[in-house]
Structures are given as C-alpha cells and as structure tokens.
Amino acid sequence: MTRAESLKRVAERIGFDRVGVAAVGPAATGRAFLKWLADGEQAGMGYLARRVEKRLDPKEVLPGAQSALCVALRYWPLSGALPEAEAGDDLWSGVARYARGLDYHDVMLERLERLEKEIAAAIPGTRTRRYVDTGPVLERDLAAKAGLGAFGKNCNLLDAEMGSYFLLGEVLTTAELEPDSPIADLCGTCTRCLEACPTGALIEPYRLDSRLCISYWTIEHRGTIPEAVRPGIGDWVFGCDVCQEVCPANVDLEPAHHPELELADKRRELSLTDLLRLDREEYVERFRGSPMKRAKLEGLKRNTAVAMGNRADRLYLEPLSEALEDDDDGVRQHAAWALGRLVVSDDETIHGRRSRLEAALAREAVAKVRAEIQVALEATEPGRSRESAAARK
C-alpha cells in the first residue's frame, strides 16, 4: 500500500466521505479566476482579490508544499434529515442544505487537525497546513485535480456517486504523495442549471456572476438589497440550491450519516415569522454554532422580509407590521417593501395595512426607510401596483 493510499484510509476512518491527492502547482483555473475578478463578478467580496498570488499557487501558502490531501464531506441527503416542506410558514425550504446543521468549518477543521497529526506521525518531518473554505486556496481546482469531482456548468464539482452536495477541505503537505487522476466531465450537453437559475447568475457554462447570485445577496451582502434584485430571490433566506436541485447528478443519491450536519433541534421549529421576530438574545442562543450567523441577525431578518414579500401571503401582515418598528433600518426598509406586495382583498385587512404603513411613515426619521414606506403606500392605493408606484420614484 502506498503512503497516499494509507493516508486516504485514515481520512476515511476520521469521517470523510471521499479523499484524493493532488500534486501542488499553479492552479489550472488561475487564468479564469483572474478574468472573473477583473470583470467584477466577485461582487462585494473584495477579500477574494487579496493574496491572489497565494490563490494561484498553493506553494505560496505553504513553501515547499508538494501535495494536497483533498477531502469531501457530504451534507445531503442525510439519513436523519427532515422531509422537504411544501407550504405554509416554512423557513427551512429557503435555507441552503449545507447551512441547516452545525457550521461545517468547525466540523471539518477538527477532523483535518486529526488528519494532520496522522500525517506527521506517518511521515516525520513533513509540514502541513489545513484549510476549509476560508484560506487563500482555490479549493475546487485542487479537488478536481484530486479526482473528487469534475467542474459542472453550475460551477460546483460533480461526482457520479456523491452528486454535488459535498463540502471541500484540504491539507497541504511538504510530503510527496502519489496523485490521483481527475475524473471525466459529467455535464455533457445538459444545461438544466443555467435554465433554472432564478436570477440568471449562471451567465454561461462554468461561469457565475455573483452580482446576480441569490447566495451572494442573502449571505455576503450587507445593507440594502436593490429593489430590482428582490423578486428574483424568491423565498430563499440563506443561500440557494436551485442549480443543484435540477442537476441530474443529484438524483437517487444514497443518504450519508453525518448527524452534525442535520437540522439542530433548537432551530427545527423556527418559521419565517419566528425568525423575523427573534430578539438578539434568542438569536444568539438559537443560532450558536450555525453557519447562518454569517448573515448576522439583521441580514437574516432582512432576507426573511424579502421572502415574505415574495410569498405575498396575507398571513405575514402582522409580523411585517411589527418589523416596521425594528431597531435596524434595513429590516424596517425591507419590511415596508414586503407589506406593499402582500395580496390582500378584504376591506379590513386593506385598511389595517395602510394604517400601519401611515403610522410607520409618521414616526420614521431615516430617509431610505421613509422612501420605501411611501412607495408601499402608493402601491396599496386602489388600482395601483407596486411596480407602477416604484416607477414614479
């Protein structure tokens, strides 16, 4: 058994679903990455343009690196996962599957640390460095070299057995290990992901414009979501899985057993209404250890208001009206937008909505929120639509 095979078996015992080895060198996708940055398709994620020389060659991250032991951890389907919800005030159908359990960074880094110790014991004198998503490493490039998947047109890695619902990590090492071979393309002529993307973010095969991506707007972006973007977000609150849901590689996958990545009990019963009403203390308790904290409480409430506005269900009248008094300007702003989109027909509800918006306008001091409330009020006038009201602004 080679050293690479031995270490791969160790990694599998530690709990990873797939392991491969890549020889370290300049990234095969380096030129495409630089063009992506030059075209501004990273949107507001300026950190991706920092330490570019390290991203383009892992040897700049760990001098003397020869190999990368790349790992995959499946997060869907899981043997203990909840069934998909279909209607009502459901929250979790609007949360990307990877984000429903514990933060994968913590789960994987702990296992990679154990793997580093095993490498050090097996190959004395070698130096290592582990990463999960947060370091200056083009992970998909390395993982593709290591045979963990082939690039899909949706910019995820695809594997015939794991589909695309898997997380990546790697240990760079100065040890020279026998590399694995890349796998063949799985997409063929299929373009389902490009056709299904709600916002057209997949502007061509293998190219994602973050400026159009639901995951960018609901996770990375801080502040106001442009009004033109909001309808395309649908009822996604954190991330988006559409391009994976339609992918043929994700059909009939065998469930994996990773309880850490299943939806935690303390969040299981949360609804959209519950999330919009969360106070700071309950948020800290409910979302401790969750990757959803990346969006922060204000971001999650903002996204929830947008989701409610897109669902347009009158059941959200009360929670959205309450949100007009939220401490955060952005939450109030997006709640006003959402109230203007609710489909209400009876006179009592129509009057109640206008009364709440008028009261909010009377007390509101922030210009951008006042403007949003005013547009919502105009949209609720008889014979007026949200679109026509916004067009007059």
CA neighbor of 189 nearest in space, from 141, 153, 236:
153
Active site residues: 133
Contact 149, 157 (CB under 8 A): yes
DSSP labels, 154-221: TSSEEBTTTBT-EEEEEEEESS--PPPPPPPPS-TT--HHHHH-TT--EEETTEE-GGG-HHIIIII-
Q: Which residues have CB under 8 Å from 329's CB, separation 6+?
A: 366, 368, 369
The three-point CA angle 155-157-161 to 5° equals 145
**Contact indicator for 95, 190 with CB cutoff of 8 Å:** no
Three-state SS string over 6-58 comes to HHHHHHHHHCCCEEEEEECCCCCCHHHHHHHHHCCCCCCCHHHHCCHHHHHCH
Residues 6+ apart with CB under 8 A from 139: 70, 131, 133, 168, 169, 170
Query: What is the amino acid identity at position 10?
Result: V
Q: Are 338 and 303 in contact (CB under 8 A)?
A: no
